[in-house]
Chain A
């Protein structure tokens, strides 16, 4: 990871200035904040920009452009990251224009949307970038006014020296400021002085979104551009044998049909180079509709793919390892059988505290339950697509990607073009949820463009998108608790695995709270590809663990919240083992907050409530779900969420994200499922793959943030994992049945409830 200093030093500054050029043309962007109401407020664009560092440039009239460098997929970093810059720069938010920074690893730090990291990783660098620029403006004013810099104050883009009565706006000092030495350690604001951070700002792209402006990769078009569609094998475990394009080439608007190979023979893949099908068929033509029609009519013979393998490296090119792709056409029924077998066999021990085996031998009572969940498709609303224009010397790409950096290496290798001649421009994404961290679609578009020697936009159909792979894996977890005759908890044992990976986090709660603890993991290889899906692994482990703790509390005759708090007290005051990766006090804090905000002990009449809490991405979330049965239909009435994610930059937008994750969780808990028969995904579009819809969303969601002075932690993911168990636990109260298998809808239907 490159450090901030590199991004702000004089050399990179000069480079940026050169890149930007004197009269850099700016596509006029929607002004941040409220719509200007008066003519005067309609900002005239400056005649000249002065770039103070990679993230900030100031016009001579005081208008400020802030670059948002992270990819935007609905987490609203395009508003909240510039808010951090604006805070330390100390500007008037109404004078801010936000521009998307395109992928440029020399210029920007960590351009990635994933792991709920944008704000966490951006926090100090962005504050520093803002403070640095502010210090340079102060330095310029000190020189011109001939007063000590320490006597100059700033406020909302105005510099002032009280002693001499001198005042100027940033624009007036911007030119000279570029010549001021970049300060080493600019002073950051005291967080109690924040004016922008913590005060909700509207989405800077809201007006463009509601008026249908072209913002997404799929909206892109250039003169002479061709359209392309891909055809991938109909089943995991199959590959292309041969094809006959003669009929399709006679169809209207169709230009070419060919195959592409995604990687070079000996290419060492990174973690994000998942290409489920290394060889694809491509149809190129004059419009999206025509290539979609043609692909349906393409005659292809498929054959079973033999076992294969490739080399992959971990983060940063470390620890290369061999990945074997097994042969065979897999079915969900077999997955289930195999998973059931593995739950009976010993797994790999990933954590052991005390003497769990001994404790189970002594137990008067053992509670054992197994939880499962199916594969899930991400189903981003915008299907995969990318624009590419590849020539002999260079490549230019534009479209949806959560993580361009690893793809620039893959593109360079495959296209035979040096990295520095490959430009990846970032479009707003119509959803990502982890899926768009994997960049096969960039390679596909680039290879097509290279082959046809023309600019091209490749677009997936919904069916392509849903059946291509990179799913949330299917998982299983078995929990066992040993109790003595007085219902005291003696030991806990968890054994969890999946196809093809285990979801287990060895050092998560309740590890650390129980003297005798055993955690085991197992894995079943598969040729169905998987990838990050909103809070990977946590999204299942939370469901299993928090459902089990609920049932355990009942057996122990304890209130579910009080029971969790007891365990957390133990972990806080006298933790078992080492490396427990959570802060028990903050964990307890969100449970207490949700208990109080929901009036836990006095639910409304007819309401059945369940609770759940989880820690991931360094944040703590507790949720209470209120369910009602209305006309034989389970209805989620209301959800309360309490969150500790440190300082909240943009509260209303953070709330929106929380609401969305909760709705997402309810939807997947009830309906989310992708199954396979002989390698074929049994659902290919939204007619079969049931998504949560308007009517099924809760009537109300209340989100409460713990008032915190801690640096921000993750937000986009942590709301999601606890939802599943909170729903299951509230359904238990409503129906008297526990729900061990996701999705819940089929079981509810078997109980004669309507879904």
Chain B
């Protein structure tokens, strides 16, 4: 066990956990930020995607010990009121089915658009390929990313 100081969604947080604990579980079990989801635990599904200094990373593979000096953003901190262009586009296209994968999808899409505000369809496909949606909402996800890019 050790104390870690974290900056999450613009707020300082302190946790006392095993240094190997993945950020996913620090967020979910210790900080009650449960929007970030557990899907596979081995960086294969993208459900646990968060932003680490603006980059989309898989929090299930990020030990808390290496997240200390970074700015972390989770789905809860993507916008104050759910009005990030990606979130709005997701609602406009009524993307979710079960919804479980969608926080991860949105975080991946938001990081993509931050770095590349006008992605081509191919760039969208490449960026989103690491996020599995078992319900198969891929066509709507793509449409929503395009809409979001137009409304940035």
Chain A interface (Cβ < 8 Å from any Cβ of B):
73-76, 200, 202-203, 205-207, 209-216, 218-219, 221, 227, 252, 287-290, 292, 379-383, 428-433, 459, 461-462, 652-653, 656-657, 659-664, 667, 685-687, 691-695, 697-701
Contacts and interface: CB of A to CB of B under 8 A. Distances in A.
Given A206-B96, A381-B101, A685-B44, A698 B139 contact: yes
A131 B32 CA distance: 42
Contacts of B1: 252
A292 B141 CA distance: 32
A659 B142 CA distance: 13
B100 A686 contact: no
Given A73-B98, A289-B22, A462-B41, A661 B136 contact: yes
Contact of A212 (B18, B40, B75, B142): B75
A656 B140 contact: yes
Given A382-B100, A656-B137, A700-B139, 20 more contacts: A203-B94, A209-B102, A210-B82, A210-B91, A218-B37, A287-B21, A289-B21, A289-B25, A381-B134, A459-B38, A462-B39, A652-B94, A653-B94, A659-B137, A660-B135, A663-B137, A685-B41, A687-B44, A692-B138, A693-B138
B82 A381 contact: no
A701 B45 CA distance: 24
Q: Which of B74, B94, B125: most chain A Cβ within 10 A?
A: B94
A290 to B, nearest CB: 8
Contact of A694 (B36, B97, B128): B128
A710 B22 CA distance: 53
A659 B96 contact: no
A207 B87 CA distance: 8
Interface in B85-138: 87, 90-91, 94-103, 106, 125-126, 128-138
Q: Is the interface of B mostly helix, strand, loop or mixed?
A: loop
Nearest to A214: B34
A693 B129 contact: yes
A692 B101 CA distance: 14
B97 A660 contact: yes
B47 interface: yes
Given A661-B136, A663-B138, A206 B94 contact: yes
Contacts of A700: 139
Contacts of B39: 381-383, 462, 686
A431 B102 CA distance: 12
A381 B35 contact: no
A212 B42 contact: no
A667 B32 CA distance: 34
A219 B34 contact: yes
A675 to B, nearest CB: 19
B29 A692 contact: no
Contact of A380 (B82, B129, B134): B134
B120 to A, nearest CB: 13
Interface of B: 1, 17-18, 21-22, 25, 28-30, 32-42, 44-45, 47, 74-76, 78-79, 82, 87, 90-91, 94-103, 106, 125-126, 128-142
11 contacts: A74-B97, A200-B94, A209-B96, A209-B102, A211-B79, A289-B18, A381-B134, A382-B98, A656-B140, A659-B136, A697-B136
B41 to A, nearest CB: 6
Contacts of B29: 221, 227, 287-289
Contacts of A215: 99
Q: Which of A211, A653, A691: most chain B Cβ within 10 A?
A: A211
Nearest to A287: B29
B96 A667 contact: no
Q: Which of B17, B103, B136: most chain A Cβ within 10 A?
A: B136
B21 A381 contact: no
A685 B37 CA distance: 16
Given A287-B30, A430-B98, A695-B129, A206 B25 contact: no
Q: Is the interface of A mostly helix, strand, loop or mixed?
A: loop
B13 to A, nearest CB: 16
A417 to B, nearest CB: 29
A667 B136 contact: yes
Nearest to B137: A660
B141 A694 contact: yes
Contacts of B40: 462, 685-686
Contact of A206 (B47, B91, B133, B139): B91
Given A656-B94, A687-B44, A210 B87 contact: yes
A205 B38 contact: no
A664 B136 contact: yes
Contacts of A701: 139
B125 A695 contact: yes
Q: Which of A202, A216, A287: most chain B Cβ within 10 A?
A: A287
B142 A694 contact: yes
B44 A693 contact: no
A463 to B, nearest CB: 8
A80 to B, nearest CB: 12
A211 B9 CA distance: 13
A488 B131 CA distance: 50
Given A462-B40, A660-B135, A686-B42, A428 B140 contact: no
B131 A221 contact: no
A209 B102 CA distance: 7
Contacts of B90: 206, 210
A225 B98 CA distance: 26
Contacts of B42: 462, 685-687
Q: Which of B35, B37, B100, B133: most chain A Cβ within 10 A?
A: B100
Given A382-B37, A686-B44, A698-B139, A691 B134 contact: yes
Given A252-B18, A287-B29, A694 B131 contact: yes
Nearest to A252: B18
B98 A381 contact: yes
A20 to B, nearest CB: 28
A473 B137 CA distance: 26
Contacts of A288: 25, 28-29, 38
Contact of A431 (B38, B82, B87, B100): B100
A200 B94 CA distance: 10
A568 B131 CA distance: 42
Contacts of A219: 28, 34
Contact of B96 (A210, A218, A691, A699): A210
Contacts of B33: 212
7 nearest interchain CB pairs?
Answer: A212-B35, A663-B136, A430-B100, A74-B98, A212-B75, A74-B97, A697-B138
Contacts of B41: 292, 461-462, 685
Nearest to A686: B44
Contact of A659 (B28, B132, B139): B139
Nearest to A289: B25
Contacts of A661: 136
Contacts of B97: 74-76, 656-657, 660
Nearest to B101: A381
Contact of A221 (B32, B74, B137): B32
B23 to A, nearest CB: 10
Nearest to A653: B94
